[in-house]
Chain A
Amino acid sequence: MEQISAAIAAAVMPGTLLAMLVGTVFGVIVGALPGLGSVLAITIALPFTFGMDTVPAIALVLAIYCSSVYGGSISAILINTPGTPQSAATMLDGFPMTKQGKVDYAIGWATTASVFGGIFSTVILIIMAPQLARFALRFNSIETFALISLSLTCIAGVSRGTILKGVIAGLVGIFLATVGTDPMTGTVRFDFGVFELTGGFKLIPAVVGLFAFGEVFSRVSKRHDASQQVDMNVGFRVAPLREWLLRWKTLVRSAVIGTFVGILPGTGASTASFIAYSETKRAGRFKEKLGTGEPEGLIASETSNNAVTGGALVPTLALGIPGDAVTAVMMSALIIQGIQPGVRLFEDNPETMNAAFVALIICNIMLFAVGALLAPLITRVLRIPEPILLALVMILSVVGSYGVSGAVFDVFVSLFFGVGAFLFRLCGVPIAPIVIGLVLGPIFEESLRQGLLITDGDFLAFFDPREHVIAFVLMLLTVAIIAFSTWREIGAAMRKKKEAT
């Protein structure tokens, strides 16, 4: 009991609370700006942690982590361009809600869902971190391959009505992820002599290009269409409890998906949000209305991507192996403080870790407060005339894709993706599968080839139920989902044909 009160005492000291507040506001802003991203936000804060005490330093970094994931949803909802790749799925229902004039409710849904996801995964982290970490260790290359294959089926969930084109977009995404140096052989693929491409396409410039530039280009090309603005309700509104209770299953399911995906090293919040969205499309109460501004879609995406924050900390803190790219940078914040992450972290630093857990819960609560306060200001952005808004978004997006690594080449990469996205949209091809492919592609390929290396080239040995039970089960699920989706699509197509004749 004294442990808990000591932890709470350490976490609510003024220095720590201030660090959390600064971190939350900073994270929301950096998350909302297109490009940049959570990793950059924490990188900027790292030099400041050199001189800080341990608990405030950790609290600062945790606050930035949670709030930057949330911040991305703000721009996704307001201007249909995710501030961070983690919020790409939030656009699918967030922006339609804005177009209907309900932006205050949209931000309310997103904020509350994020806080729920964050606190849910933190509680799981506190209770079960060591056991879950051990479970995560059992996911080796072959199991990861099966899991990623299952995750790739969520491409179907985000390609409403155009599965063929969605699948092609997904394949293009995975292909684009292979551009660059092959980590297994050191050969450079598809660089066409451009040295800067030997590192491949970085995710954030690609996402800025696909969504920010793609969106601006789309709007510019439709300028003369109806540009009357719907009456915008600025502010912050949380929907009544009844609406929440109707969607409670999605809320919990998305939180579980987010936590679970976070626990597995290598996958991050973008993966979680797409899987959760796809699952909700399959089994949600309002699945028919998903994609038209249905809050259930917002819940799916935002709960899961914030739930990853707690989940990713499980392997990071319990094993010293980062759960995603962001926690990798966070680990260095610990190292700077002289704390060595690893299997002995909890034994060697119990007070610090307990204080960190309490801080994480407070960060999530603070997120709600900051979101509620900033929302009325930020939503007023929508009242700016569209030409001005688009020009400013273009400037911010260019800076956002430049800022990630300070290379102008990345801005050209963004432009390339932007033009590509516009052409795809012109042909009615969904863009989200490209991001899914880009995010999952590298892990998919690595786990496939590692697995083949281990089984000496025998692909079927992957699913031997005696050796790899988990992989077997996951692969069965994948095949089942693919078969079911194909069946349903063919059925729908044949029915349409019958109606037409």
Chain B
Amino acid sequence: MRKFKVSIGMAACLCLGIAMAVSAPLAAAKADYPDKHVTVIVAWGAGGGTDLLTRAIQPILSKNLGADIVVKNLPGAAGTIGTAQAARAKPDGYTVLIGPAGPVTTQPHLRDIPYDLDSFDPVGRIAINVMVTMSTKESKYKTLNDIIEGAKANPNTIRCASSGAGTLPHIAILALNKAAGIQLKHLPYKGSSNAVKALLGGEADVFSDQAQIIPRYDLHAIASWSAERLPDYPNVPTMKELGYDFQIANWNGMFVPRGTPETVIDTLTTALEKTLADKAVLDEMAKLKVDISYLDPQAFKTFAEGDYVRNRELLKEAGLVK
């Protein structure tokens, strides 16, 4: 029995010894940032907009940064789970977040989340997608006026889809309610595909989302939430022209946890800016129909804070802030 116990112990030591000997050469050596792989957290599932964008810039960013980049998808709870994980990470520059507006500028107002916009230091804005309100070609709501008149005549009957409570399409509905003094019926769906399906199937009358989906589903654009008319849609009036000076756009930006050293942020910023000017990346983005729109850390911070405050006001007025 004792001999048996000794041989088990020896076997265990032998195994551990072999494992360590085999793995030792892979131990990292000490150097400057970055000296090992950088993890980019994407708080959404694979194949979604943010994920594709990240994967499109990954190879060139990796080259410009001088380190391997690993993309980690942490989906769940409208992007808050992955974003919380990124906020909690060590602020050493080896964990980076690429994400859209929702989790950092809208979700914190709706419920208790263990992070906020200021849990992050911005690195740079990557892309921006203006929201466009749309309906189907057969719908009776072809202009903003149709919607406003219809809503004034029958409050709470025009069905406006959104991709969930607190998402940007929902914010667009609230903004329209406030600006025109009307009551629209909000139908929250789980995700934008379901919302588009409802629009195409006739269950929803109107949906606001990024402009790329208009040609995809053959939709009719009613108005765009931007300051100037979109180059691809010169006939679509802007909300500003129609008298409502609101700009709503979904954007994707890069963040690091608050407290990351300045030098590290500078390295990342330089690499990001270089990547977004690279021709190969621009070609990929054209394929994905994404508009690159870089903003440096300071400008991005101001921009994001502007969104944060605006969303809070809208949600508060609608009685949705806890």
Contact = CB atoms under 8 A, between A and B. Distances in A.
A and B touch in their complex, CB below 8 angstroms: yes
Interface of A: 39-40, 42-43, 46-47, 50, 137-141, 180-188, 195-196, 198-200, 202, 265-266, 315, 319-322, 325, 328-333, 335-338, 340-344, 405-407, 442, 446, 450, 453-454
A195 B81 CA distance: 8
A453 B165 CA distance: 14
A16 to B, nearest CB: 20
Interface string B182-202: 000101111001101110111
A265 B197 contact: yes
B46 A340 contact: no
A407 to B, nearest CB: 7
B75 A453 contact: no
A469 B167 CA distance: 33
Interface string B48-79: 10011001101100000000000011111110
B164 interface: yes
Contacts, number: 149
Question: Which one of B78, B159, B193 has the greatest number of beta carbons of chain A within 10 Å?
Answer: B193
B55 A442 contact: no
Question: Which one of B81, B190, B213 has the greatest number of beta carbons of chain A within 10 Å?
Answer: B81
Interface residues of B, number: 54
Question: Which one of A139, A266, A320 has the greatest number of beta carbons of chain B within 10 Å?
Answer: A320
Question: Which one of A200, A331, A450 has the greatest number of beta carbons of chain B within 10 Å?
Answer: A450
Nearest to B165: A186
A269 to B, nearest CB: 17
Interface of B: 45-48, 51-52, 55-56, 58-59, 72-78, 80-81, 84-85, 110-111, 113-114, 159, 164-166, 185, 187-190, 193-194, 196-198, 200-203, 212-213, 215-218, 284, 287-289, 320
25 contacts: A39-B46, A43-B46, A137-B202, A140-B201, A140-B203, A181-B78, A183-B164, A183-B165, A184-B188, A186-B111, A195-B114, A198-B76, A199-B75, A199-B76, A265-B197, A332-B48, A332-B51, A336-B55, A337-B287, A340-B212, A342-B215, A344-B218, A406-B74, A450-B189, A454-B159
A328 B197 contact: no
B110 A186 contact: yes
Given A181-B78, A200-B76, A335-B288, A328 B166 contact: no
B75 A320 contact: no
Question: Which one of B45, B72, B284 has the greatest number of beta carbons of chain A within 10 Å?
Answer: B45
Nearest to B107: A186
B81 A196 contact: yes
Contact of A343 (B45, B166, B216): B216
A405 B75 contact: yes
A105 to B, nearest CB: 37
Contact of A265 (B80, B194, B212): B194
A405 B48 CA distance: 15
Contacts of A50: 55-56, 59, 284
Given A50-B55, A184-B164, A329-B45, 15 more contacts: A50-B56, A138-B201, A183-B189, A186-B320, A187-B111, A202-B76, A319-B217, A321-B193, A332-B46, A336-B55, A336-B287, A337-B287, A340-B215, A442-B190, A450-B189
B216 A450 contact: no
Contact of B52 (A202, A335, A405, A453): A335
A141 B194 CA distance: 10
A482 B267 CA distance: 65
A450 to B, nearest CB: 6
A191 to B, nearest CB: 10
B289 A340 contact: yes
A238 to B, nearest CB: 36
Given A39-B46, A265-B197, A406-B72, A320 B190 contact: no
B116 to A, nearest CB: 14
B76 to A, nearest CB: 3
Nearest to B186: A453
A407 B46 contact: no
B45 A320 contact: no
Given A185-B165, A340-B216, A450-B187, A46 B81 contact: no
Contacts of B165: 182-186
A137 B47 contact: no
Contacts of A329: 45-47
Nearest to A180: B77
Contacts of B288: 335-336
A343 B188 contact: no
A385 to B, nearest CB: 17
Question: Which one of A181, A186, A321 has the greatest number of beta carbons of chain B within 10 Å?
Answer: A186
A144 to B, nearest CB: 10
Contacts of A186: 78, 110-111, 164-166, 320
Given A183-B165, A329-B47, A405 B74 contact: yes
B217 A342 contact: yes
Contacts of B73: 43, 405-406
B277 to A, nearest CB: 19
Question: Which one of A46, A138, A180, A342 has the greatest number of beta carbons of chain B within 10 Å?
Answer: A342
Contacts of B212: 340
